[in-house]
Amino acid sequence: MLAMAQQPQYHVDKKLLKAIDRDFAVADTQYHTLMKRLPAERFPKTYFAAKDSFAVSGPEWWCSGFYPGTLLYIYQQTHDAALLNEANRTLDMLASQQYNKTTHDLGFMMYCSFGNAIKMEPKPYYNNILINSARSLASRFDPKVGCIKSWDSDKSEYLVIIDNMMNLELLFWATKVTGDSSFYKIAVTHANTTLKNHFRKDYSSYHVVNYNPQTGEVQKRRTQQGYADESSWARGQTWGLYGYTVMYRETKDKKYLEQAKQIAQFILTNPHLPADKIPYWDFDAPNIPNALRDASAATVMASALLELCQYTDAKTGQLYFNTAEAIIRNLSKSPYLAAKGTNAGFILQHSVGSLPQNSEVDVPLTYADYYFMEALTRYKQFDRP
Asked if residues 45 and 57 have their Cβ atoms less than 8 Å apart, the reply is yes
Three-class HEC string of the chain = CCCCCCCCCCCCCHHHHHHHHHHHHHHHHHHHHHHHHCCCCCEEEEEEHHHCEEEEECCCCCCCCHHHHHHHHHHHHHCCHHHHHHHHHHHHHHHHHHHCCCCCCHHHHHHCCHHHHHHHCCCHHHHHHHHHHHHHHHCCEECCCCEECCECCCCCCEEEEHHHHHHHHHHHHHHHHHCCHHHHHHHHHHHHHHHHHCECCCCCECCEEEECCCCCCEEEEECCCCCCCCCCEHHHHHHHHHHHHHHHHHHCCHHHHHHHHHHHHHHHCCCCCCCCCCCECECCCCCCCCCCECHHHHHHHHHHHHHHHHHCCHHHHHHHHHHHHHHHHHHCCCCCECCCCCHHHCCECCEEEECCCCEEEEECCHHHHHHHHHHHHHHHCCCCC
The active-site residue, picked from 28, 80, 163, 282, is 163
Is 163 known as a binding-site position? yes
Residue 316: name the closest of 4, 8, 1 by CA: 8
Which amino acid does the sequence have at 382? Answer: F
Is 235 annotated to bind a ligand? Reply is: yes
With both helix axes pointing from N to C terminus, report the angle between 254-268 and 234-251 in degrees, rounded to the nearest 10. Answer: 150
Look at residues 303, 270, 268, 297 and name the one whose alpha carbon lies nearest to residue 355.
297
163 is catalytic: yes
Give me the amino acid identity at 313: D
Strands lying side by side in the sheet with 218-222: 158-161, 208-211, 218-222
Task: Respond yes or no: is residue 282 known to be catalytic.
Answer: no
Q: Is 239 annotated as a binding residue?
A: yes
Annotated ligand binding at 182? The verdict is no
The rounded distance, in Å, linking the Cα atoms of 264 and 8 is: 18
Answer yes or no: is 293 a known binding residue.
Answer: no
351 is in an annotated binding site: no
Which of these is catalytic: 23, 80, 105, 294? 105
Task: Please give the single-letter amino acid code of residue 18.
Answer: K
Residues known to be catalytic: 105, 163
- Binding site: what residues are annotated? 105, 163, 223, 235, 239, 354
- Binding site for substrate: what residues are annotated? 105, 163, 223, 235, 239, 354
